[in-house]
């Protein structure tokens, strides 16, 4: 079992292998479809020129350098004092971000991506180059995971809607498992290959 604090070093990432259990601590950022599309179109394919975009880009550059992005559409509650709390924080299926993730990893120097279901070859290649890893979170345990979210520090692009906004959260002992590592190994790729082989055998 590994206990890591964000930002995470290259050495700590290279020490991880598929199957390792990790408890994450520190500040991470949520981001789903709208957030990834926005980052690609406003920060990566084109240099930001709008003052609001520039300000947000600078904030995300600092937060995600050596950091972790979480594919999550949380259920949140706003307190009377205006602060937020996470009620549920389950992972979103990650493969939807495959078209974006490699570029996001490289641009922001990400060290980890959290989600469920795994990702594809482009993300795995980026994990080898960076280095970075894919962390699998427990599907169906949204309220349990929310207990690891100790504080909501900020929220960006709330105009995307609560699930698609980028929530900046501080977590303690967030439980994940490495299922894609920086050495080119992917549990998801292995399971798919074994499943296809078994299907072919069944079909004769």
Q: What are phi and psi of 66, to 5 degrees?
A: 75, 15
Q: Which two tokens stand for residue 126?
A: 């980026």
Cis before 68? omega within 30:
no
Burial grade of 69 (CB within 10 A; 0-12, 13-18, 19 or more):
buried
In the block, tokens 């259990």 appear at: 21
109: tokens are: 């120097």
Residues marked active site are found at: 36
Cα 88 from Cα 85, distance rounded (Å): 9
CA distance 195 to 192: 5
CA dist., res. 30 & res. 28, Å (int): 7
Three-state DSSP state, 195: helix
Classify 88 as helix, strand or coil: strand
Phi/psi region, residue 94 (left: phi>0; alpha: psi -120 to 50; beta: rest), is alpha
């Amino acid at each position: 079992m590994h206990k890591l604090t964000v930002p995470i070093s290259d050495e700590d990432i290279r020490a991880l292998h598929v199957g390792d259990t990790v408890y994450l601590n520190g500040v991470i950022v949520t981001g789903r479809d709208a957030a990834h599309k926005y980052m690609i179109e406003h920060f990566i394919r084109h240099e930001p020129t709008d003052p609001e975009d520039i300000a947000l880009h600078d904030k995300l550059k600092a937060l995600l350098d050596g950091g972790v992005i979480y594919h999550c559409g949380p259920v949140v509650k706003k307190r009377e004092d205006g602060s937020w709390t996470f009620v549920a924080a389950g992972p979103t299926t990650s493969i939807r971000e495959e078209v974006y993730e490699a570029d996001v990893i490289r641009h922001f120097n990400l060290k980890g991506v959290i989600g469920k279901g795994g990702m594809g070859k482009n993300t795995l290649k980026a994990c080898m180059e960076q280095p970075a890893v894919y962390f699998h979170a427990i599907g169906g345990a949204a309220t349990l995971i929310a207990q690891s979210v100790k504080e909501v520090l900020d929220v960006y692009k709330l105009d995307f809607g609560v699930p698609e906004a980028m929530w900046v959260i501080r977590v303690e002992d967030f439980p994940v498992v490495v299922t894609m590592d920086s050495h080119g190994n992917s549990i998801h790729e292995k399971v798919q290959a074994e499943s296809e082989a078994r299907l072919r055998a069944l079909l004769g």
